[in-house]
Amino acid sequence: MVTQHGKPMFTKVCTEGRLILEFTFDDLMRIKTWHFTIRQYRELVPRSILAMHAQDPQVLDQLSKNITRMGLTNFTLNYLRLCVILEPMQELMSRHKTYNLSPRDCLKTCLFQKWQRMVAPPAEPTRQPTTKRRKRKNSTSSTSNSSAGNNANSTGSKKKTPAANLSLSSQVPIASIARSPVSGCALRT
């Protein structure tokens, strides 16, 4: 980006950077986010101006100071600060334009809707409750040792189905959805 400035003196500023734009997925192709990274910048003062003020050290000192901040003027930086302040108010302004409400009513409705979203999060898909079944105890004597009891259970019991061999840990889902109290969004753990 090359800009030319006339005040306080004629200066040419060359700014090198990278601009990354992310658009919304609608027909209007509005900019969703943007990120501009400045890699380097140069402020170029013509030699004719330097030659005119070569004997005056105060003017040379002023010429050596930067006119811009990292290649951006103070006017541009103030505009970007204003955009950062106004960006959260975008929803209020669009509601005011759409519904022709007063600013106070727009603020009330926006706050109420955000409160509703926080209090009543979107419903999760309902899961069918698993039915827990109790296993019958075999009628073995309580005085027999555990190995003998296990042998008696394995030989004297009926043939078990494959579903009965599954442990409780295999019936619990691997991924669960949790609500993060910090960000308020759903996380998969």
Supply the pLDDT for residue 123.
67
What separation in angstroms does the CA of 157 have from each of 33, 66, 88, 122, 141? 67, 90, 69, 48, 15
Which position has the token pair 């990274």? 37
Dump pLDDT digits (tens) for 57-99. 888 787 778 888 888 888 888 998 998 888 888 888 888 889 9
Note whether residue 48 is domain-resident.
Answer: yes
Supply the pLDDT for residue 50.
80
Q: Structure tokens of 157?
A: 């019991």
Q: Which domain holds residue 15?
A: 2-72
Q: Is residue 94 left, alpha or beta, with left meaning phi > 0 and alpha meaning psi from -120 to 50?
A: alpha
Note whether residue 60 is domain-resident.
Answer: yes
Rounded distance between C-alpha atoms, residue 23 and residue 72, angstroms: 24
Q: Of all helices (H) and strands (E), which one includes residue 57?
A: helix 57-64
Strand order in the sheet with 31-44: 2-5, 11-23, 31-44
Note whether residue 9 is domain-resident.
Answer: yes
Note whether residue 114 is domain-resident.
Answer: no
pTM above 0.85, yes or no: no
Note whether residue 34 is domain-resident.
Answer: yes
Supply the pLDDT for residue 64.
78
Regions of the chain short of the pLDDT cut 70: 122-131, 139-189
Note whether residue 12 is domain-resident.
Answer: yes
Rounded distance between C-alpha atoms, residue 151 and residue 138, angstroms: 12
Supply the pLDDT for residue 28.
79
Note whether residue 35 is domain-resident.
Answer: yes
Domain count, the chain: 1
Supply the pLDDT for residue 42.
92
Note whether residue 19 is domain-resident.
Answer: yes
